[in-house]
Structure 1
Amino acid sequence: MSNRLESKVIIVTGGTSGMGSAFARRAASEGATVLIGARDKQRGETTVAEITAEGGTALFVPTDVTVEEEVANLVDVAVKEFGGLHGAFNNAGGGDVPGAIRNMDASFWNSVLALNLTSVFYSLKHEIPAIVASGGGSIVNNASVLGVVGDPGVVAYSAAKHGVVGLSRSAALDAAKENVRVNALVTGLVDTPLWRGHTERDPEAARAMLNLQPTGRAADEDEIAAFTAFLISDESPFINGAALAIDGALTSGV
């Protein structure tokens, strides 16, 4: 494993499982100091313990990304404890439940947007100044394929992820001259604990989703982690303001 992230301080929200955890481990293995911000203290501390047992440096900071003060605290801890901030993977989010717009409760709509879109706004608002003060760096926001295509059954989540793409592009333009890059990941099916749970609960629906996938498989978490590490590293200096598909061609025919 390379040390291309050596000496970088990187925040990972939603880093206790799935893509966030896989990236946190990858970043630490490449020499970064990783701060995991999430609500689940037990899983967060377990993830940190596993990273440190493998020789990495990590810290868990209890964080509800829907609360601005807690996001601000996460960034403050990075700066105060480790001297700065150089990157972030804003990965915290959650799924939707099937349902038509006409039947959707406004409180549910607001909760999905708070977790998947407003949380990214809070993160960017506080991460960008800290990264500027540290000399520059890179931020990756996880948007999913539903950030570029619609789904009549997953309305609020799709709207939020479309917002993440637009927010990422606007933030990239806002911070480009200060040496801060912002990109969005357009992730397709990924073999995470959430996906595995779905396949166990509803194998038929899972097979139907896989049938839409040109590759016939879900991505491995480590594939997403490797690409994210490249985007946050100094090896991708001219990639900025992009919505980058890592979806096995899922959106290519749409």
Structure 2
Amino acid sequence: MSGEGAAALAGRVVLITGASSGIGAAAARVFTEQGASVVLVSRREDRLRALVGELRAAGAEASHHVADVRVGEEVRQAVSHAVDTYGRLDAAFNNAGAGVEKVPLHLVPEADYELVMDTNVRGVWNCMTHEITAMLASGGGTIVNTSSVGGLVASSVAAPYIASKHAVIGLTKAAAVEYAPHGIRVNAIAPGLTRSEMVEQWFTLSPEAEQRAYSSAPQGRAADPREVAEAAAWLCSDRASFVTGATLAVDGGRTAW
């Protein structure tokens, strides 16, 4: 990594949700390597504590706050923790998300629909509400929301997830337009198949599913979580200073087919 890249987020205070595993945990490492102080948020405190310990051992500045993004007050407290600890909030990576078992739309249990929409849509809404409030108070900032290739194209037996990830892109565009005059940039990433904890478990249980997944990927593989995190870090940096309201596909060409 070049010196410029290594310092791309120097001095920035960044809040990361869904930080206990997968893309979120990778982002914690990438953002601190680029000079940021991070506040890690998820529901799994044991994992957050372990990751914060790892980052601090490497010389990074990190803290954690346990919160469920579906609950607005818990998100408000997480943002307040960031501001109280570091004095401001410069950037946020809203990465927490949920999926459920894939079944045809007319058979989706109401509870599954509510879980996906509450986490993926209300969760992003809650996060942006309180993050933007903090950023307005300090003169601007950057936000990156995690959508999915499912926010750009449809696939079968995944209607709630597809709907929720399209909604994330809509919220991203709306906020980008509304807050651009206030110095706040808002973008989304749309990851393709990524070797997250859930995907690794799926591949272990069904090796044939792994091969099927790779057959629909132009690069013939899944992303490492770090590859996705690098895209989010770029969008949060000044290197993307004229990028707002965009959705960056990090999918190995999946949506180009």
1:211 to 192, 215, 234: 215
Structure 2 counterpart of 1:75: 79
Partner of 1:92: 96
Q: Determine whether 1:24 maps to 2:19.
A: no
Partner residue of 2:205 out of 191, 201, 204: 201
Number of the residue aligned with 1:166: 170
Residue 106 in structure 1 maps to residue 110 in structure 2: yes
Greater shift, 83-92 or 103-112, is seen at 103-112
The answer to whether structure 1 residue 226 and structure 2 residue 196 are counterparts is no
Provide the C-alpha distance between the structure 2 equivalents of 1:163 and 1:56, rounded to a whole number of angstroms.
Answer: 34
Measure, in 2, the Cα distance between the counterparts of 1:190 and 1:137. Answer: 27
Conservation of the 8 A alpha-carbon contact between 2:189 and 2:231: no
Aligned pair 1:250/2:243, yes or no? no
Structure 2: how far apart are the matches of 1:55 and 1:74?
A: 23
Q: Choose from 43, 52, 56 the match for 1:52.
A: 56
Write the deviation string for residues 189-235 of structure 1: whole angstroms up to 9, x where unpaired.
11222221110011112211111001001112221121111110111
CA deviation after TM superposition for structure 1 residue 135, in Å: 2.1
Aligned counterparts of 2:108 and 2:183: Cα–Cα separation in 1: 41
Residue 244 (structure 2) aligns with: 240
Matched residues in 1 for 2:251 and 2:231: separation? Answer: 12
Does the 8 Å CA contact 2:27/2:230 hold for their aligned counterparts? Answer: yes
SS in 2 for 1:141: strand
The whole-number CA distance in structure 1 between the counterparts of 2:203 and 2:116 is 23
Q: Give unpaired runs (5+ residues) of structure 2.
A: none
Question: Which AA in structure 2 matches 1:202?
Answer: S
Distance in 2 (CA, whole Å) between partners of 1:192 and 1:98 is 18
Query: Runs in 1 of length 4+ with deviation above 6 angstroms?
Result: none
Q: Offset at 1:132?
A: 2.0
Decide whether the 8 Å contact of 2:105 with 2:158 is kept in 1: no
Amino acid at match of 2:102: P
Give how far 1:243 is off: 1.1
TM-score, length-scaled by structure 2? 0.96
Aligned-partner residue type, residue 152 of structure 2:
V
2:54 matches 1:38 = no
- Cα root mean square deviation, aligned: 1.0
Number of equivalent positions:
253
Q: Which residue of 2 aligns with 1:190?
A: 194
Paired letter, 1:93: G
Q: Which runs of 5+ in 1 are unaligned?
A: none
What secondary structure, in the 3-state scheme, does the structure 1 residue paired with 2:248 have? strand
User: Sequence identity, in percent?
Assistant: 38
SS in 1 for 2:239: coil
Q: After superposition, give the CA deviation of every residue in 1:25-60 in whole Å (9 maximum; x if it has no partner).
A: 111111111001100000010010001011101111
Amino acid of the structure 2 residue aligned with 1:230: W
In the TM superposition, 1:110-189 aligns within 5 A as 110-189=114-193
Offset of 1:245 from its aligned partner? 0.7
